[in-house]
Amino acid sequence: MRLPRSYPQMCRDGFPRRTPSSTLSSEPAADGRTSGDGRMDATRLAVVTAAALGAARTETEVVREAWQAQALARAVGGVLAATGTPAQRAEARRLHGTGDTGAPPCVRPRASRLTSVADPPRALDALEALLEEAAHALIPLAATAAESGTYADCMETIEALGNSRDAVGVLRGLWEKPAEEAARGKPVDTWRDDPGGCAR
């Protein structure tokens, strides 16, 4: 399947590059493990995945790391769905439910090492930047795909990355707003479910 010559630019317009995340550029890619089995916090996993994506050279490696980014987004959504305000939890569930494009052959999800999201705004900032980079890495592969199967796989993953990025952006705003209100001394709504299942 051949794509129109303008297609790569059309995709890029849908994924405008923002100012690079300071978290991705300042955090070391290695280390940061929380236990002997290599389990990590969300922010560090985003940094590790971004480094792996940047080091990818072959089509297979790029597709694999783009999938890893999408899997991490879903995992972070699953963790955040258990905490925060009702609005935060609802958006986190939406992120967790974004498209599962299926794992590439013989690839273990790096997201299985996720232990916590210690700093949600920081982790979401790094994750949003990672999803953008992953989509940009796939665009030229889709534009030059010689096989319809490769094209379809790339486009499916790009769509999933876009949906995840949108959900992450909304969720990041929901987490940043209470922090800003607290800094101004404004009471923050921190509804949580009590053991009996009643919100208070």
Give the 3-state secondary structure of residue 121.
Answer: helix
Per DSSP, 113 falls in state G
Which tens digit of pLDDT belongs to each residue from 38-58?
A: 678 999 999 999 999 999 999
Share of the chain above pLDDT 70, in %: 66
- Whether the CA torsion 117, 121, 125, 128 is positive or negative: it is positive
Which tens digit of pLDDT belongs to each residue from 66-99?
A: 999 999 999 999 999 998 899 999 999 999 998 7
- Whether the CA torsion 25, 94, 69, 156 is positive or negative: it is negative
- Residue 21 is predicted with a pLDDT of 54
C-beta of residue 61 within 8 angstroms of C-beta of residue 69: no
CA angle 42, 46, 51 (to 5 degrees): 150
pTM (2 d.p.): 0.74
C-beta of residue 134 within 8 angstroms of C-beta of residue 65: yes
Residue 119's region, left for phi above 0, alpha for psi from -120 to 50, else beta, is beta
C-beta of residue 126 within 8 angstroms of C-beta of residue 46: yes
C-beta of residue 133 within 8 angstroms of C-beta of residue 53: yes
- The answer on pLDDT for 7 being more than 80 is no
C-beta of residue 171 within 8 angstroms of C-beta of residue 88: yes
